[in-house]
Structure 1
Amino acid sequence: MLMIATSCGNSDAEIDAYNKKSLGIEEIKNADINYTIGGKPKAKLTSPIMLRVQQSNPYVEFPKTLHVDFFNEKGEVDSRLDARYGKYFEQESKVFLKDSVRVINTLGDTLYCNELWWDRNRTGREFYTDKPVRIRKKMEVTDGTGMEAAQDFKNWVILNPSKGIMKIPASEFPDN
């Protein structure tokens, strides 16, 4: 009895490239996207990699960090957002952010959390989460679970605060 076995193989890079093509994935490196309404800047997003996935519910993924500057009516930066991962659901106009999410407003107030939704349909409450959060103001820190905030991060509420507000000397805060 004679048996002959043959095989062939593709590299991981070739398989990944094929899968991206067959799934309808567009990849953009060093993405720099400006969002405007009526010609006025509203936000500027930058990310080292952006993947647009075309399927029945298309989405855009930012697998290796993203940064967003939000602008006020005068075109000035109102707040900044950073996260290690983001996923924009196009049909819902919602962005899911996770892993070291941080939002800073012009007053220096800073939100820290691990998961955050940014929903452009929720006017005045664009940011929200049901997960643990920490908000640092100049001389105090507030922890809790669940939060809603305006996109400029000037108006926010922690839904379930824990232990109230902690007063912290400025010398104990790290520099931004």
Structure 2
Amino acid sequence: MLHLKTIRVIPLIGGMTLLFSCGSGIERVSRIENPDTLPAIHATGIEIIYSDSSIVRLTIKAPELKDFVQADTLEPKSEFPKGLTATFYNQGGGVESILSAGYAIYHIKKKTFEATGDVVIKNFSENQELHTEVLWWDELHEKIWSDQPFSITTPDGTTHGKNGFEADQSFRKYRLRGTSGQMKVKETDDGGQTTDDGGL
């Protein structure tokens, strides 16, 4: 068992960096005959910080992290078996939105997160809250989507959807599918609209 306060700095896409802060240490598991069955790193009480040009853009906190990253693993991944909370920040350092889920997997090669189990997104700038059971986040394209039923609550009411949605990762612009209920149409900064027929 290795007891480390931080591990840094791991280069990521787009000049971003990653920092781990672990509350109770990290366990490195030796290579075994089947590398898919046990993680290379097992950490508890972790915080991951994504920064771009020294500006923090995203923090992820989780009770537990399991990394399956061996070179001979067909699908390297990071698993958050007890869920996570991801906080997105704007350029000024303010909190833009928060995503929480009961379980999540980060697919390292695809650079996508798969979150399941009581997934909630709170957008503070737009005063919106989304609930669904499955959500995908594309790190490269900064988009989120789901093909599962969802609900979005705003000061103007609640909209329910049966066929999922697509949105930017800040959840300011989105396309809703199979909706019912009422939601006030708002025009975005680039002229788009947040309607069930709108586009990203």
Q: How does the TM-score come out when normalised to structure 1?
A: 0.77
Aligned identity (percent) is 26
Quote the residue 2:130 is aligned against.
111
1:29 to 32, 44, 51: 44
1:147 to 159, 165, 176: 165
1:134 to 151, 154, 157: 151
**Aligned ranges 1:61-76 → 2 under 5 Å:** 61-76=79-94
Which runs of at least 4 in structure 1 moved beyond 2 Å after TM superposition?
A: 19-24
- 1:89 maps to 2:107: yes
Distance 1:20 1:42 in 2: 33
Quote the residue 1:53 is aligned against.
68
| TM-superposed deviation, 1:65 | 1.4
SS of equivalent to 2:182 = strand
CA contact (8 A) 2:167 2:175 kept: yes
**Bigger fraction of residues in helix:** 1
Distance 2:148 2:108 in 1: 23
| TM-superposed deviation, 1:153 | 1.3
C-alpha spacing 1:28/1:130, structure 2 compared with 1 (3 Å): same
- Give a deviation string over 1:123-163, Cα, whole Å, max 9, x none: 4xx110111110011230001121011111121221221x3
Quote the residue 2:24 is aligned against.
none
Quote the residue 2:57 is aligned against.
42
Distance 1:166 1:20 in 2: 53
Q: 1 or 2 for the larger relative contact order (CA 8 Å, sep ≥6)?
A: 1
Quote the residue 1:4 is aligned against.
none
CA contact (8 A) 2:154 2:183 kept: no
| TM-superposed deviation, 1:111 | 0.6
5+ residue gaps, structure 1, are 1-16, 168-176
Distance 1:65 1:37 in 2: 25
CA contact (8 A) 2:156 2:182 kept: no
C-alpha spacing 1:36/1:47, structure 2 compared with 1 (3 Å): same
Over aligned residue pairs, what C-alpha RMSD do you find? 2.0
Quote the residue 2:139 is aligned against.
120
| TM-superposed deviation, 1:108 | 2.5
Q: Which amino acid aligns with 1:50?
A: L
